[in-house]
Each structure stands twice: as C-alpha cells, then as structure tokens.
Structure 1
C-alpha cells in the first residue's frame, strides 16, 4: 500500500522518479518508483546511518547478487542497482500479490491442491538458487509473494553462497526460529537441505494456518525445532508422509527439491486455477491500487500528519476468475513488471511510515455499528528504530518519567521524548538487564557502580549504589544509597520499584557462583533520603543451576509490595510484603500460570489485585483470598491482563474482544460489538484513553481504537508492536516491539 513521500525524501535515485513510500524498516526504505520508460518498480534504499558500515554495504550487495541469481521467474527481477552509491539502492520489479501469510490470513488455510501447486513452484525456485550454490536461509511465509503467475521468493538479506561464512558468527543461529532447520538452530552450516526443511514448514503453514512447531518465545521455538516432532494436525492426510520426510531432523533423510516437487504436484494446470477466489481478488486489488495512487509529499514539520489511502474491499465472490484478477482500474498484466520483496525486506515488525492524522482531519463520530463507521488504517505519529526489550525484562519497561519514556535494551537505557520519539539521552547498564532502573513516574533511578583503583591503575574494589538519573543528560547523580555492603556483594541486584522516597530491591549475597540461583537473595527496602535500610528479608533459598530471574513482576499496592515470583520448578507464586516491615503478609500460588506469559505490569487498587489469563478475578489485598471472578457471569471465558480506570476493569475476552467489569464486584458492564473483536489478541494489555473516549487493543496487525460509547472499532493504526503503554501527559500511546518504538495518538 503506497504512502506519501515525506518532506525530506529525495525526488529520485539514479534515473528513477520516486512516487510514494511503500514502507520503512531497520535496514532502509522502499519506494514506489517509475523508470524513464514508465515501468513501475520498487526501489530499495539503505538508511544513511548504516550506509557507512562495510558490513551492511556487503549485505546489501550480496542480497542484490542473490536476487539476480533467482531471476524474475521465481523472484523479483533486479532491474538496476548501485550498492556503491552514497545511498545504496536497488530497483526491482513490483510484485503484484500478497505475502503468503497475508493470503492465508485473508482466505484461511489453502486447499490441498493449492498447497501442492505452491510447493512444487517453490521447489523450482529453490532449485534455481541451489544450482548456483546459493542457499536462502530465511524461507518463511512473509518472504513468499503469491502472484497470478506463481509464487516469488524474496528477501535475500541473509542468503549466502554455500560454505561462505562471511558476516556470520560461529555458532550463531541466523534466521527465523519458527522455520529454521535443526542444524541452522544450532549454528551449523545451512545447506540446501535446510531450505527444504524450511519449505516443508511453510507448506504446513499454508495448509493449516500455523507453523509445524507452534509459536512462542524464540528459545522455545528453537528447542522444539531441534528436539520435538512437528505438529501436523489438520494437514491433508496425503501430504503427511511427504512433509514428514522433508521435516526430518537428519538433513540426509530429506528429499532434494526435484524429488519433493514430483511428490507434490504433477505440473498440470495454471497456478491461478488452484488459488482461492479471495486470494485472486487481493491480487487484482493490489494491481489496481498502484494506478489509483496520486503522488504527494508531506510538508516539513511542524506540518500536520497525513493518512494513507483507504483499503478497498475485495471483489465479491462469484465473479469470474479473470474478473477477480482484473478487478479495479488496473490488471495484473497491465502493471507490467512491477514488484519487489517489499513486505518481508522491511520486516513484519515495522509499521508503515507516516503520522496518524492530518490538517483538517476530523475523527469519525461514534456510530451504532461497525458498518456505520468509515475506518481508515492510519500510521504512527512517529517511529524510531531502537533496540527492543529482552524476554526477561522488567514488565514496566518502557518506563514513564515526566514527558519521557525510558526504553531498556542491550545493556543500555534510553530516554525518549514521548511526543516526538527523539532520543534525549542514553545510560549504560552493567549488564543486559532492564531491572537495573525504575521510575516513580517523575524520576528515574538506576543502579550504578563505583570503582576503586590503586596507584598503578589496577582495580581494587567495586561498590554498587542507587542514583537518580538526570533526565536531560542520562548521567547518574550523587549516590543516594548503597546497594552492596559487607554482607551483600550486590553484584547481581534488581531494582524492583520506587515509591515515596523508598527503593525496593532484590540483592544477592554470599560468594559469587556460576548461576544466579546458586546464590541466596534478599528483598530490601532502602531510604533514598539518607541511604539507610528500612528492612531486609531473605527469599527462601533452594540452590539451582539456573539464571532464571526470581521476579516476573512487582508493584506497590496500598501498603504492600506485591511480587510475582518464579520458583525453581517453574511455578509462579504471588507474594505480598508489608511495606513498613518487609514481612510476608500472604503468599499464594497462581495455579496454571506459565512464567513465560505472565510478564505484565500487575493491576491493583487499594483493595484488590486483578488477574487475567483465565477467568478475570480479584484477590483481596488484605489476605490474598479471592473476592470474585467471572466464572459465573461469563462461564468458560478467558481474559488477558486487565487494566483499571476509575473503578472499571477492562480486559480482552478471547474470541469476543474488549470487555468491561465493575472492579468492586466483577459485574459485567459491556462487551465489544465489533466483528474485529473476535480476532483481538487477548494476551496484549489494552490501553484506556484519558477522557474515556476510546479504549485500544490489538488485532490482525493493527491497533484498534474502540469507542466507549459505540463499543465498536472507530479507528485503526498499523502496528506490529506487542506492547502498548499510555503516556497521558503527551497524549500518546507508546508501542514497543523487538526493534522499534512508535507513538500513536491517545484520545
């Protein structure tokens, strides 16, 4: 989908005129362009900040080389390229069709005949690469474009010549975990057999709508790829023996591409004969969209933001197959050679460019139903390519502090202006651990260290202290309180929370061991006014050879410090400590809680702690007993993590969408009416607007603004963020993902 050029985009590169943006990601920007002869192209550029790096220039050149190897029949044909230019660029045909994952999302799992035709064509594409001694190494649904003439394989950013170890660290697993081969997951050489394994996983996805090893955290996926049997449930019976063999753990047991193609398809019929009507309609829509776009350029700041073009509905079912392909003003053949691997090269983590609203824009009035509201997919107000969070992070990251948000990743903290996304400062952490900083909403505090050296410069001693960070520079101020002392080495410590001039920490003590859980730990309350300790209370100690964090979440609720603690056996307990004395007031198990999936900020008020991941329920802060749950009112329903606003609890109900309950007794107030709510991601915490205009939740790759009056979706914002944090002072929603931070309007 094209979007307007920004004020500082060039008018052209080489001999090509730029018409619009197609997207922007971590590596660069992709533009819609026209050649002097009128050919529609996709022109890919590299960001200036990385164009000076030899490694990235080499990657760009190798990608162009691999794209040339596969050619226009099986990939996006390279028309021109200049990897040595000040801004490296590559022009390719503009591929007319959706990525395979979008096609499956649109039409559902493909019928067996379509999967067979797709697989045979992809075997031919991979065979073309392998005959030139090149392996793709990252075959996945988003890297396969479905066109009227067959699938095209794109995104050769990590493709390599066989035996070429350049740009690859020994023992590193490079690729996409859900579709890696076992040998690739362990950092071994990736041969053509590895591409066959990935292809089999892609075909399982095409036939069932999910990968053969499920989803989840990268570490879990890599483990299942290496040791677990693939889940082929729902796969057509005739395909099970074929794809089982291609998914063999032993590379030598997998068929070559020529043999696999023969097992999949006899080669009869045109490729379009096997595609569902909904996919054909989408191909036609994308073809016509290129010609309907009117080139425009956004004004320079402080000019207002602009919106992208509104998506057209797919052609109605029942039209002829030719009519489906020729839907709209343009045709598949009429656009000529158009298309590049835009979608995958940008990465599914990147939101499309451009801000959310423009001058003169008026928000639609709430209506009684989805059909009465004209919805547009808008873009973020700003987006920055910052490093993403860790799996084991403090769930309150990004932290809020005044007019800033604080992101933590890669052993560093970064202060970001919430309104503009501009980076204000950076702060180096001792280790890659987001639990070393905390915020009270106004200030940010961090754990810093002080080194003592002898006259010759040799390190003699290290001490650890708490300090307040200067939010204009990121520098640590004076030492407010010691973290380490004669008893506690403080080498490993967690800053859990800060409130009312008191910092609450978890600190290790005893001799340094290889694993964190071989050390005793204590929870400590420290006064920031004079550095003295209010109390120290030890955690139950059970030695284990593990670095798993003891803590999943922490919050101040009333007069309690409430902690989610992970035990050695993987169970989760909710532990409430008295803020004044540190003693455990109550300790309850959270039955069935998976420590990988309950890393959310805890929601509480002065009376209750509120939990999701099952029925929505309230625990009394006084004794941890259950005050109410939604089992009777909404039997069998599952809810994600809740948020609280003025006595009303909001959560996403799986299969229904947003729902609201009275916090006092759990009485249902309303459930979303939008059809999109059925696909809402219930494990993503919703956001509530400041004036009760909208509540926000994610579904199908967009952030939905649901009117609290209409209870229907009234606005859509493109995003692949997986966490959304409201910043009411700037009236922004901060979306964070693995490699970016973005801002959306909060209304």
Structure 2
C-alpha cells in the first residue's frame, strides 16, 4: 500500500526523487522513489538516532552487502546505497508482488504444484547466498515476495557470514520463533542447514496457512521448535515426507538446498503457470497501483512551519519490542513490494529450475475483479505485538495502529486522512464519541527510559493526527511503562492503568506498583485511585482485557496472575469494587473485545450466553437452560435484543432481559459462522463473520441477504458513515452498514 509523504520527509535521497511512503518501523522508513530515468525504486533509510548506534549501523551495512550477494535474480537488485551517510540509505528495485504471507491470506493455502515451484526457486536463492558464505537467518513468509517470474528474498538485516558471531548478542535467539531452527532457538551456530529448516517451515505455511509449530507466545514456539514434532497433517501426502526430512532436529540430517530443490520440482514450465489466479491478480493490481498513484505530501501540522526541502526525517519512537533480538527487525523487511523484471532460468545452477520466459510484459494481463468491499487498504502489522490490532472509529474516520503508529482513513471513501509515525499503541488509545485520547510518551524519553518520566495524557487532533497539549501530567507515575493502559473514556473521564517504579524492556517487574484511576479531562485531576496487584517478573500480560462504562459502573475484564479472567464492576464515583465474578474462558485473549452492556446487564459469551445484573453481578439468565450444550461467540445488544453466533447454527437472537430465544438464522449458511467476534448490528441487517466472508443477515427474513468476501476477523460499526469496518489478513476494509 502506498501512503502520502509526510511534511517532514525528504524530497530526495541521492539522485532519487521520493513519491510515496511504503512503510515505516522502529528501524527506519521505506519510500517509493523514481530514478532520473523514471525507474521505480524502493529506498530504505535508518532513523537518525538508530544510525548513531555503531552496531546497528554495521547491521545496515552488512544487510546491504547481503542484498548485493543475492542479486537481482533472487532478490531486489541493489542499484545504489550509502551506508556511511548521516542517515544511511539503500536503493533497490521495486518488486511487483505480494509477500508470501499476504498471498496466502488473500488466496488461501497454495496448491501443491505452487508450493513445489516456490520451494525449488527458494532453494536456488538460498544456494546463491550459501555459495557466498552468507546465511539469511530470518527466512519467513513476510520476507519472500511472490512475483510473476519467481520469488524474491528480502530483509537481510540479521544475515551474516557463516561462522561470524560478532553481531550476535550473547544468550539471545536471533530470528523469528515460528520459523527458527532448533539450533538457532538455543543460540547455537546457524549454518546453511538452519536456512533449510526455515525454508521447510515456510513451505508448510504456504501449503496449509500455518507454520509447522503453530502460533502463540515466542517462548511456547521456541519450546515446540526444539522438542516437538512439526504438524504436517494438512500438508499434501506426497510433499509431507520431503518437508519432514528438511525439518529434522539434527542439522546433519537435513538435505542441502540443491538436493531439496531437486525433490520439490523438475524445472518444467514458467513460474507464473504454477500460481493461482488470485495471486496473479494481486501481482497485476500492484503493478497498476504504482503507476496510478498520484504523488502527494501531507501538509505541516498547524502552528508548525514546514522543514526545509532537504531536511532529514524526524526520528520516530522505537518501541521496546522492536529493540529485542527475537523476531528480528530490519528496515529491508518493510519493503513488501518491488520490480518483477527478472526470471529464474536453467543454466549452470542446478537449483534454478525454471526456464526464462519469452519476451513480453513483466506481468500477464488479468481480468479486473471488483472487490466486495466499498474500499480496501493493505496495511502493515502493528509496531508492537503485545495485543492484536483493533479498528477504532471516531467522527468520520476509521483508524488503526499499523506500521509506525496510528493511521486514519476516511470511512466513506477509504482515502488516507493522515499517518502518524509516533509509535502509538492500541492499548493506549481510546475513543469517546467525536474525540480520541491517548497516553503520550514524553518528549526526550526515547533512549533514556531508565530515568523517571511523568505520565501524560492528551486528546488527538483528528484533522492532523497530532496530540494536543497534555490535559494531565503525573510525575509520581512512570509515563514510559510499556504496560500502561488507557482503558476507556466516558463523559469526559479517562480510566487509566499506570505504574510506578523502574522501567523494564522485558515485561513487568515485581518491584513495580500499579493502580487504576480516573482522570477528569477538564481539570486534569485524579478523581480516585485504587491499587492493583503486582505482576510476575517478566510477564507481558496487561492487567485488563477490556473495559467500558455504563451508568455509574466501570465494568472490566481483569486477567489474574494465574491466567484467569474476572468480571469486575467499580463505582465510577469512588473506584470501589461493587462486585467481582469469575469468567470461565479457555483463553483470556478470546474475550479481548469490547464489552456488551446495557443499563441493566453485562452480556457474556465465548461459551454459554450469560447476563449478569449490573447492580450486583448476579446471574440474570443463561443460555444453558434454553439451549443446553450450545457454544456461543461474544454477543451484541441493540433495542432489547441480544445477537450472537451459535456454533454450527449461525446467528441467533434472544430477548436481552429474559434470555428467551427469539429466532435462529435460516438458510443453512450458518454452519461455518465464526464464534470469534461480536456481530455488528445495523438498522435492517446484522453482520456476522463466516469462512472468508461477512454475512449480512436480513432482520426480516433471518437469512443472509449478502455474503461479502473478506479476510477480516475484527469488525466494528462506523455508524456516522454507515459502514462496517473490517480488519484482518493485512487488509483494512469497509462494507455497507444497513
């Protein structure tokens, strides 16, 4: 996805004119540019303050060297670089094609023929690196760009020469846990065999849509990589033993890249012949987007003069998780697209199986397909991975934290309103009708977080994305605590969780003290403050999963140190706990959704449907009596009717006060309805998630009036613009709300 340049982005780097932003992260920013001859170029820069670190500057230089080693045949061709500049930069060809993870999100798991062709081509790429005595060390789906003529490998930010440990931090596992080799997970030497293991894991993902060791927290993944067998149950039968061999725990038992390539594919046909139509369609769409994009630059914020044309970009905040070695972090990894102008060819390299295509356009013409959505934008993942990204609605905007921070889109048209690079975090933002509030990271704190910094809160200017002057500041609280939360805002009162004590990059510390409190937005004064229990050493689980205000109750889902969830209601006037009830859920993250409440009840799903009285927390009713043994997703309520998805049945409606069933979705399409997200309720339809669809259930007929194709898994209503906002699969989209 292409974003407008910000007012303080440079106008050019070297001889290249910048035309758009491609993405940004903790390490730097990636731009789309043009050479003097009009060639599309991806330009990657380091943030100025990061460049001041000699070790990180060395990584950037080695990344440039590794990109040159792999060359334009298997990677993005390096056309120019200045790793010694004050702001180091690297210019490569702009590759036309989606990253492998997005290709799979869009088209589903690839057919076996596609996986084999992809794997053989990647064997050629890794073989080229290994012949030059370089190992990649972070091969994963997002670092592989799928073009019409073959895959290209990018992001060499943690690549190094074989046997060179100088830039490896002692005791740290370097790479991405889901695709690490066992030896890499234990900080042993990473040889070419480690890249073979990662490649096999990538091919399992391509064939099934998930990695061979599942997903979850890094520590859990690292344990499975080291001690459990890969899950190949969904891999095609003929392919499974080939990948199992390459996933051997013992590096000496794995095949070489040349041997693996020969087992995967015989070299016949052109690479594009093996790709699904949806992937080819996406390649063509990206090729068109580059030339249709109109260069634009966002204006300077009010009361701030624009910088001179050649001014370097303002350094962005570097999140704590981006500094950690686990997961890797390279500016090259932000370039998710480039130029598809090369081919794999048979020749001296036995691991390059595909013949050179006949002369012609770099992307085959494909019929245009109308999207089901009103608009759709490709977005990066959030800069911090503590909790999943979630859409936010305020005024006529649809917002989310992605890439470097907060991005805002016009909810009706999908046009980019503004993009921040301030490193905002999803759990430190909260809307309140037409306003948006946030916890600020104080100016000057970056790089000096060991010192005490006051907690600051501010509202956000929704015309520019800039934070207003802080409305409150508390010097007795540590404003840079990563785990501080802005729970919710209601009637001009902000409900906040914040800590005192030493800042830590590695989670909570037992020595820290935490509290939940209420702040008056008009006066900036605390109305009340109540202590919270300390978290275990190193825990990265936030205190609260969700919170909302109804009447004089602050209702919240609080996660205990034992991983249990409790529903707690506090008096908004005093902060005193009015009632406290357990909530039985298998996974706390399954209820990390907006709470469903009305003036009488709190409604809970993720198992049975239950209504708790707002007054005392007692159970008003449960679905177990009316429909025993049934499982439900999280509910929504409107006009006295409760809506939820019943597993295997579809959308159901019940009387909110009594729980008495009112109706069940008809038509038989509810079998695949998902129980992971709340339904979105409109005036004539209720929208619920299906298998790759968003179903609009007609309230009159109780049948699906429309099935919208979507990769979304989080949905909210943007009522002012009459749209349903969807987020998922690296796409942000809008659908009609009727």
Q: What TM-score results when the alignment is normalised by the length of structure 1?
A: 0.65
The alpha carbon displacement at 1:298 in A equals 4.3
Please list the CA deviations of residues 143-197 of structure 1 after superposition, one character each: whole Å capped at 9, or x if unmatched: 1111222111112222233344455432233332322223333444433222222
Match of 1:625 in 2: 619
Q: Distance in 2 between matches of 1:268 and 1:351?
A: 42
Q: Distance in 2 between matches of 1:302 and 1:429?
A: 25
Match of 1:326 among 347, 360, 364: 364
SS in 2 for 1:326: coil
Q: Distance in 1 between matches of 2:383 and 2:517?
A: 39
Q: Distance in 2 between matches of 1:164 and 1:600?
A: 46
Compare CA radii of gyration and give the structure with the larger one. 1
SS in 1 for 2:588: coil
1:610 equivalent in alignment to 2:610 = no
Describe how 1:570-581 pairs up with structure 2 within 5 A: 572=565, 574=567
Q: Distance in 2 between matches of 1:345 and 1:502?
A: 32
SS in 2 for 1:238: coil
Please list the CA deviations of residues 381-422 of structure 1 after superposition, one character each: whole Å capped at 9, or x if unmatched: 433442647xxxxx7865869955234899976645262433
Please list the CA deviations of residues 298-347 of structure 1 after superposition, one character each: whole Å capped at 9, or x if unmatched: 462579xxxxxxxxxxxxxxxxx9999431699xxxxxxxxxxx989999
Match of 1:203 in 2: 203
Q: Distance in 2 between matches of 1:33 and 1:404?
A: 34
Q: Is the 8 A contact 1:79 1:92 kept in 2?
A: yes
Q: Is the 8 A contact 1:570 1:595 kept in 2?
A: yes
Shift of the 274–556 alpha-carbon distance from structure 1 to 2, 3 Å rule, reads closer
Structure 1 residue runs without a partner (length 5+):
304-320, 331-341, 364-375, 390-394, 452-460, 481-500, 509-514, 518-544
Match of 2:30 in 1: 30
Q: Distance in 1 between matches of 2:550 and 2:59?
A: 50
Please list the CA deviations of residues 347-400 of structure 1 after superposition, one character each: whole Å capped at 9, or x if unmatched: 995289975349xxxx4xxxxxxxxxxxx65446433442647xxxxx786586
1:297 equivalent in alignment to 2:318 = no
The alpha carbon displacement at 1:200 in A equals 0.8
1:216 equivalent in alignment to 2:236 = no
Describe how 1:160-309 pairs up with structure 2 within 5 A: 160-291=160-291, 293=292, 295-298=294-297, 300=299
Q: Distance in 2 between matches of 1:450 and 1:281?
A: 53
Describe how 1:60-99 pairs up with structure 2 within 5 A: 60-99=60-99
Describe how 1:303-382 pairs up with structure 2 within 5 A: 325-327=363-365, 349-350=402-403, 356-357=409-410, 363=412, 377-379=414-416, 381-382=418-419
Match of 1:383 in 2: 420
Q: Is the 8 A contact 1:429 1:436 kept in 2?
A: no
Describe how 1:362-511 pairs up with structure 2 within 5 A: 363=412, 377-379=414-416, 381-386=418-423, 388=425, 398=430, 403-407=435-439, 415=458, 417=460, 419=462, 420-423=464-467, 428=478, 432-434=482-484, 442-444=492-494, 501-507=527-533
Q: Is the 8 A contact 2:654 2:663 kept in 1?
A: yes
The alpha carbon displacement at 1:264 in A equals 1.9
Shift of the 679–216 alpha-carbon distance from structure 1 to 2, 3 Å rule, reads farther
Q: Is the 8 A contact 1:288 1:328 kept in 2?
A: no
Q: Is the 8 A contact 1:448 1:467 kept in 2?
A: no
SS in 1 for 2:79: strand
The alpha carbon displacement at 1:256 in A equals 2.5
Match of 1:485 in 2: none
Q: Distance in 2 between matches of 1:571 and 1:450?
A: 26
Q: Distance in 2 between matches of 1:159 and 1:215?
A: 24
Match of 1:105 in 2: 105
Q: Distance in 2 between matches of 1:573 and 1:468?
A: 20
Structure 2 residue runs without a partner (length 5+):
303-357, 369-378, 390-401, 442-448, 503-510
Shift of the 464–21 alpha-carbon distance from structure 1 to 2, 3 Å rule, reads closer
The alpha carbon displacement at 1:202 in A equals 0.8
Describe how 1:662-701 pairs up with structure 2 within 5 A: 663-665=656-658, 683=676
Match of 1:539 in 2: none
Shift of the 249–401 alpha-carbon distance from structure 1 to 2, 3 Å rule, reads farther
The alpha carbon displacement at 1:238 in A equals 1.7
Match of 1:18 in 2: 18
Match of 1:457 in 2: none
Please list the CA deviations of residues 407-438 of structure 1 after superposition, one character each: whole Å capped at 9, or x if unmatched: 48999766452624334558625965436988
Q: Is the 8 A contact 2:635 2:643 kept in 1?
A: yes
The alpha carbon displacement at 1:68 in A equals 0.7
Shift of the 203–181 alpha-carbon distance from structure 1 to 2, 3 Å rule, reads same
Q: Distance in 2 between matches of 1:439 and 1:353?
A: 18
Shift of the 269–408 alpha-carbon distance from structure 1 to 2, 3 Å rule, reads same
Match of 2:586 among 575, 590, 593: 593
Q: Is the 8 A contact 1:353 1:379 kept in 2?
A: no
Q: Distance in 2 between matches of 1:163 and 1:684?
A: 48
Shift of the 570–379 alpha-carbon distance from structure 1 to 2, 3 Å rule, reads same
Q: Distance in 2 between matches of 1:584 and 1:464?
A: 20
Q: Is the 8 A contact 1:133 1:161 kept in 2?
A: yes
Match of 2:445 in 1: none
Q: What TM-score results when the alignment is normalised by the length of structure 2?
A: 0.66
Q: Distance in 2 between matches of 1:200 and 1:171?
A: 26
